[in-house]
Chains A and B, each alone.
Chain A
Amino acid sequence: MSMSQENNRPLLEVRNLGIAFTTATGEVQAVQDSNFTVMPGETVAIVGESGSGKSTSALAAIGLLPANGRVNAGQIIFDGQDITHASEKQKVKLRGNQIGMVPQDPMSNLNPVWKVGFQVRETLKANGLPAADEDVTRVLSQAGLPDAEKRAKQYPHEFSGGMRQRALISIGLSCQPRLLIADEPTSALDVTVQRTILDHLETMTDKLGTAVLLITHDLGLAAERAQKVVVMYKGHVVEAGPALQLLRNPRHPYTQKLVDSAPSLASRRIEVARASGVEADDLLAEHPRTSMQAALKQDFVQVQDLTKVYKLRGSWGRSEDFTAVDKVSFAIPRGTTTAVVGESGSGKSTVAKMMLGLEPITSGSIVFDGQDVAKLRGKEMFAFRRRVQPIFQDPYGSLDPMYNIYRTIEEPLKVHGVGTSKEREKKVRELMDQVSLPQSMLARYPNELSGGQRQRVAIARALALNPELVVCDEAVSALDVLVQAQILNLLAELQHDLGLTYLFITHDLAVVRQIADNVCVMQKGTLVETGSTDSVFENPQTDYTRQLLAAIPGAGLINAV
C-alpha cells in the first residue's frame, strides 16, 4: 500500500452504529444509525448533551461499554479492520498502544490505593514498552506535570484536579496511540486549568501525530479545538461538518438551538431575554428604572471586610490558620444580580455560606437591609432566613429523596407557619406555575425528575417564602447547556416579575455575562476586581480577570462567527 493511500484511509470509521442498553424496564436504544470518521492525525469533536450517546459511541470503539450495553447494529472499523465484535484478546491488544483514552472525571479515574507512578508504569508494561523509573518520569513530565520524579511517588489524593488530569493524559498518551479518545477531558476543571491542559494536549497530539476524538458538551470548546464537529442528539448524529461552517450556518434545529444558547458564544445579556420573548426595547427601558431603584436602595446588602479563617489540624495536635476569605467588601443593590466568580478554592462558596448565615463570620460584617447578620440570634435569625433563600449546585443532592415534590416545596411554608394547609396548597400550586412545572408532578419523587426539573423544584422551594435575596451557589453548573439556558431565563423572568435580588456564585464567566449586572472576581480568598459586568468584560483591570476571560472556551470565536 502506498503512503498516500494510507493517509486517505480513515483511521476510525463508524458506520450505522447502533447501541442498546438492557435496563430493568426493557431494552433502550441509546445510539442509532450513528456515522462518523476520524482521519489520521485529525481532531474530531462529538458534541451533545448528556444522554445524547456521544460518550457511548466513542467508548464502543474500544469495547468499554458498561456490562448492560451492546452494539446491535453497524460496524466500527479501525485502520481498515472491523473491530465491532473483536474478541477480548484483540481489544486488549488495541487498547493503550493503538487507541488511548483520557477519561472525564480526574477525581475518580485514578485508583486511589496505588501511587501515580505505579499506574503509569503498568500501562507501559502492559503494552510492552520499557517501564523503568526514568520512563515513568519522562512520560509524566511530557504531560506537563512539574517535579515528575517526586510526584510519581505520590498517591492520587495528594494531587490537585489539574495534576490528576495531567497524569491521566500522560497515561492515555504514554504508549503513543494512533487515536486518543478524550471524553470531556476538562469539564471537571476550572477554566484557566482547562485551557492550559487543552493547549498542552493539543501540542502533544500534534507532535505525535495522534488523531483525537474529543467528546464534549461545549460547542464553543469543540469549535475551538477540532477541525470537524459531529453533533449528536438523542442517539442520532444530526449534523456533521467543519467546525466554523457548522457554527456559522447550523442546519439542524437542534444545532441552531445549541449555537444560540452556548453560553461561551452568547455575548450579550439581552440575547437571553430575547429568547424568552422579552423585546430588546422593553429590556432597555427596564434598565434605567432598576438602576434608579438601585441608587435609592444602594445599601440592601453591604459586605464589609468580610473574613473567614478556618483552623486546620496540623501535625502533632497543633492547628494552623487558613484564611478562606480575606477582607472582602462589596455591595448588592436591591433588584440586581451580583455574581461572584472565581476558581475552586477562591472562597466564593464560603462567602455564600456566610451570606446565608450557615457559617460564622470570623471578622468584618454583612449588613442585610440595615441588620448585621452576625448579630442575629434565635428569632431574628429565623426571620432573616425567611428573607434569604439558597439554591444549590447539585439538584440531585439538595432535594430530600424521601420527600415528594409537594412536600419539598411546602416544607419551608410549614416550618415558618405560613397559612392554613389549604392556603399552603394554593401557594405550592402557584409556585409550580411560576417555575413552569406541571401540577401533575406534585406527587412525584426527586428521582423521577430530570436535572433541569429538579433545579426548578429547588427554585420553587427557594421562592416559597417570598424571599428578597436568593443566593444561587453554582445553581446551573451541573446542567446541560440548553437546560442551563432555560433555568437562567426562568431566573431572569422571576427577577423581573418579583423584584428579586440575586447573589450568583459561579466559576463560569460565560454564565456571568448572561445573568449578572455586577461582578466580583475572587482569587485565593481576596477580591481582585469588582465592577459592572460590561466594564469587567470589556475592560478587565487585572491580569487574573484577563486570564479568566481568555480561558472561556470559544472566546476567540465570537468575532469569527
Chain B
Amino acid sequence: MAWYLVKRLLQLIPVFFGATLLVYFLVFMTPGDPLAALCGDKGCTPGVAAALTEQYHLNDPFFVQYFSYIGGLLTGDLGVNFSGREISEVLAGAFPATARLAIIALIFEAIFGITFGLYAGLKKGGWFDSTVLVLSLIVIAVPIFVLGFVMQYFVGVKWGLAKPTVSGAADWSDLILPGIVLGLVSFAQVLRLTRTAVAENASADYVRTATAKGLTRGRVVRVHILRNSMIPVATFLGMDLGALMGGAIVTEGIFNVPGIGNQLYKALTLGDAPMVVSVVSVMVIIFCVANLLVDLLYAWLDPRIRYA
C-alpha cells in the first residue's frame, strides 16, 4: 500500500510537468507580441517594455522562460498578472467561492442522486423508475448554459426564490441556485449510476442470503444493497469533486460568481498568459490529487482491491 502511494505520487511529477509545459507552450508561443496586448494601442514606453521583457524572460529561449516560471511556481511564487496583482493573491481570493459552489453542487448531487437512484433501482421498471430515467436523460442531454439561464430566469427572476446573480461576497446562501445548476448533470449521472448498481445488487445471491438470515428489509437495503452500490458512485463523486474544484466557467459566468472559472475566463479574453498558465497548473494539480484520493477511496470501499 505504501509502495503504491509512493508510486502514484511519483507519477504526478511527469503529469505536472507535461501539462504545464503544454499550456505554457500554447499560451506563450501564440503569434503576436504579448506586450502589445498589455499596453494597448499606445504601446509601451521603452523603459516599461524593457522591464517587462526582463520580468517575463521574453528574450530568453522557450525552455529558459518555462523553467524560470516553474522555479517560481515551486517556491510558491506565481508571479504577477498583467494588471500587476500577485497571481497567488487573485487565486486565494477566487478559490473560496469556487470551493463553496463545488461543495453545494456535490452535496446536492450526492443526496438527491443517491436517494432517487436507490428508490428507482429497488422498484426497477416501475413508474417512478421510468419517469426518473427519462427526466435524467433530458438533463444530461440539454447543455448546461440552457439549464442555467432557464433556472436563473424562472427561479431567480420570475418567482424570486433566489438571487439571480451572486454578490461580491459569494455567501453560501447566494450560491445555492448556481450550485444546483452546476450539480444538475452530475445529479442525473449519479442517479443513473446508483439505480443500475442497486438493481443489480438487489438480485445478488448475498442479498438473498442476508434476507434468509432474518434481517429486516431496511437493514438488507442499507447494509447490503446500498453499501455495495456505493462503490461506483463514490468513485464518480470523487472525480466530480476534482473537476468542480477547478472552477466551472459556464456556471460561474451565468451567475457572475467571482470564482476560479470566472478568473480564467477573464484571463483568456485578455490574453493574460501568466494568469492562464497559473490557473491551469493549479487545476491540473487539484485534479491529479483528487484522482489519487478516488483510487484510495475505491480500495477502502472495496476490500477486494489491493494496490501493490
A binds B: yes
Question: Is B280 engaged at the interface, CB distance under 8 Å to the other chain?
Answer: no
User: CB < 8 Å: which of B204, B205, B214, B219 contacts A127?
Assistant: B214
Question: Is A79 engaged at the interface, CB distance under 8 Å to the other chain?
Answer: no
Residues of A within 8 A of B303 (CB): 112-113, 155, 157
Cβ contacts A to B, 24 pairs, < 8 Å:
A66-B203, A67-B203, A88-B217, A93-B214, A95-B214, A96-B214, A103-B205, A103-B208, A103-B212, A109-B205, A109-B206, A109-B208, A111-B224, A112-B304, A113-B227, A113-B301, A114-B227, A123-B214, A126-B215, A155-B303, A155-B304, A171-B209, A313-B308, A317-B308
Q: How far is the CB of B186 from chain A (nearest CB, A)?
A: 24
Complex Cα gap A506–B60 (Å): 73
Residues of B within 8 A of A62 (CB): 212
Residues of B within 8 A of A316 (CB): 3, 308
Q: How far is the CB of A117 from chain B (nearest CB, A)?
A: 13
Asked if B210 and A111 sit within 8 Å, CB to CB, the answer is yes
Complex Cα gap A97–B215 (Å): 11
- As a 0/1 sequence over residues 203 to 217 of chain A, the CB contacts with chain B under 8 angstroms (1 = contact) are 000000000000000
Question: Is B59 engaged at the interface, CB distance under 8 Å to the other chain?
Answer: no
Q: How far is the CB of B76 from chain A (nearest CB, A)?
A: 34
Question: Is B223 engaged at the interface, CB distance under 8 Å to the other chain?
Answer: yes
Q: How far is the CB of B213 from chain A (nearest CB, A)?
A: 4
Question: Is B211 engaged at the interface, CB distance under 8 Å to the other chain?
Answer: yes
- As a 0/1 sequence over residues 175 to 191 of chain B, the CB contacts with chain A under 8 angstroms (1 = contact) are 00000000000000000
Question: Is A110 engaged at the interface, CB distance under 8 Å to the other chain?
Answer: yes
User: CB < 8 Å: which of A67, A95, A315 contacts B213?
Assistant: A95
Question: Is B65 engaged at the interface, CB distance under 8 Å to the other chain?
Answer: no
Question: Is B302 engaged at the interface, CB distance under 8 Å to the other chain?
Answer: yes
Q: How far is the CB of A476 from chain B (nearest CB, A)?
A: 24
Beyond known contacts A62-B212, A66-B203: 17 more, CB 8 A cutoff: A92-B215, A93-B214, A95-B212, A95-B213, A96-B212, A96-B213, A96-B215, A101-B209, A111-B224, A114-B223, A123-B214, A123-B215, A127-B214, A155-B303, A171-B209, A172-B212, A316-B3
Asked if B3 and A317 sit within 8 Å, CB to CB, the answer is yes
B residues lining the A interface (CB < 8 Å): 3, 203-206, 208-217, 219, 223-224, 227-228, 231, 301-304, 308
Residues of A within 8 A of B228 (CB): 111-113
Complex Cα gap A476–B160 (Å): 71
Question: Is A301 engaged at the interface, CB distance under 8 Å to the other chain?
Answer: no
Question: Is A122 engaged at the interface, CB distance under 8 Å to the other chain?
Answer: yes
Asked if B212 and A100 sit within 8 Å, CB to CB, the answer is yes
Question: Is A296 engaged at the interface, CB distance under 8 Å to the other chain?
Answer: no
* Chain A interface size range: 35 or more
Question: Is A175 engaged at the interface, CB distance under 8 Å to the other chain?
Answer: yes
Complex Cα gap A122–B219 (Å): 10
Complex Cα gap A122–B220 (Å): 10
**7 nearest interchain CB pairs?**
A96-B214, A101-B212, A95-B214, A108-B205, A123-B213, A111-B206, A155-B303
Q: How far is the CB of A554 from chain B (nearest CB, A)?
A: 27
Complex Cα gap A126–B205 (Å): 19
Asked if B301 and A64 sit within 8 Å, CB to CB, the answer is no
Q: Which chain B residue has the least Cβ–Cβ distance from A128?
A: B214
Question: Is A135 engaged at the interface, CB distance under 8 Å to the other chain?
Answer: no
Residues of B within 8 A of A175 (CB): 214
Complex Cα gap A127–B213 (Å): 8
Residues of A within 8 A of B302 (CB): 112-113
Q: Which chain A residue has the least Cβ–Cβ distance from B214?
A: A96
Residues of A within 8 A of B205 (CB): 103, 105, 108-109
Residues of A within 8 A of B223 (CB): 114, 122
Residues of A within 8 A of B216 (CB): 92, 126
Question: Is A226 engaged at the interface, CB distance under 8 Å to the other chain?
Answer: no
Residues of B within 8 A of A105 (CB): 205
Complex Cα gap A108–B216 (Å): 21
Residues of B within 8 A of A96 (CB): 212-215
Question: Is A503 engaged at the interface, CB distance under 8 Å to the other chain?
Answer: no
A residues lining the B interface (CB < 8 Å): 62, 64, 66-67, 88, 92-97, 100-101, 103, 105, 108-114, 119, 122-123, 126-127, 155, 157, 168, 171-172, 175, 313, 315-317
Residues of A within 8 A of B227 (CB): 113-114
Asked if A92 and B304 sit within 8 Å, CB to CB, the answer is no
Complex Cα gap A15–B224 (Å): 34
Q: Which chain A residue has the least Cβ–Cβ distance from B227?
A: A113
Q: Which chain A residue has the least Cβ–Cβ distance from B205?
A: A108
Q: Which chain A residue has the least Cβ–Cβ distance from B228?
A: A113
Q: Which chain B residue has the least Cβ–Cβ distance from A316?
A: B3
Count of A-B contacts with CB under 8 A?
A: 88
Asked if B209 and A315 sit within 8 Å, CB to CB, the answer is no
Q: Which chain B residue has the least Cβ–Cβ distance from A100?
A: B212
Complex Cα gap A103–B206 (Å): 9
Residues of B within 8 A of A97 (CB): 214
Residues of B within 8 A of A66 (CB): 203
Q: Which chain B residue has the least Cβ–Cβ distance from A177?
A: B214
Asked if B215 and A122 sit within 8 Å, CB to CB, the answer is yes
Q: How far is the CB of A99 from chain B (nearest CB, A)?
A: 8
Residues of A within 8 A of B206 (CB): 108-112
Complex Cα gap A95–B215 (Å): 8
Complex Cα gap A95–B216 (Å): 10
Asked if B219 and A315 sit within 8 Å, CB to CB, the answer is no
Residues of A within 8 A of B209 (CB): 101, 103, 109-110, 168, 171
Residues of B within 8 A of A64 (CB): 208, 211-212
Complex Cα gap A315–B301 (Å): 21
Complex Cα gap A101–B3 (Å): 43
Q: How far is the CB of B11 from chain A (nearest CB, A)?
A: 15
Most B C-beta atoms less than 10 A away, residue of A64, A100, A126, A155: A126
Residues of A within 8 A of B224 (CB): 111
Residues of B within 8 A of A94 (CB): 214
Residues of B within 8 A of A101 (CB): 209, 212
Complex Cα gap A442–B163 (Å): 68
Complex Cα gap A119–B213 (Å): 9
Q: Which chain A residue has the least Cβ–Cβ distance from B216?
A: A92
Complex Cα gap A441–B193 (Å): 39
Complex Cα gap A61–B33 (Å): 83
Residues of A within 8 A of B214 (CB): 92-97, 123, 126-127, 175
Q: How far is the CB of B216 from chain A (nearest CB, A)?
A: 6
Residues of B within 8 A of A103 (CB): 205, 208-209, 212
Residues of A within 8 A of B211 (CB): 64, 95
Residues of B within 8 A of A109 (CB): 205-206, 208-209
Q: Which chain B residue has the least Cβ–Cβ distance from A171?
A: B213
Residues of B within 8 A of A93 (CB): 214
Q: Which chain B residue has the least Cβ–Cβ distance from A118?
A: B223
Complex Cα gap A114–B225 (Å): 12
Complex Cα gap A110–B211 (Å): 12
Most A C-beta atoms less than 10 A away, residue of B212, B217, B223, B308: B212
Complex Cα gap A97–B213 (Å): 8
Complex Cα gap A105–B120 (Å): 28
Q: How far is the CB of A150 from chain B (nearest CB, A)?
A: 16
Complex Cα gap A105–B227 (Å): 21
Residues of B within 8 A of A313 (CB): 308
Asked if A108 and B3 sit within 8 Å, CB to CB, the answer is no
Complex Cα gap A287–B194 (Å): 63
Residues of A within 8 A of B304 (CB): 112, 155, 157
Complex Cα gap A101–B203 (Å): 17
Q: Which chain B residue has the least Cβ–Cβ distance from A313?
A: B308
Q: How far is the CB of A432 from chain B (nearest CB, A)?
A: 36
Complex Cα gap A157–B210 (Å): 17
Complex Cα gap A110–B302 (Å): 14
Q: How far is the CB of A388 from chain B (nearest CB, A)?
A: 36
Q: How far is the CB of B199 from chain A (nearest CB, A)?
A: 11
Residues of B within 8 A of A88 (CB): 217
Q: How far is the CB of B308 from chain A (nearest CB, A)?
A: 6
Q: How far is the CB of A136 from chain B (nearest CB, A)?
A: 13
Complex Cα gap A223–B291 (Å): 57
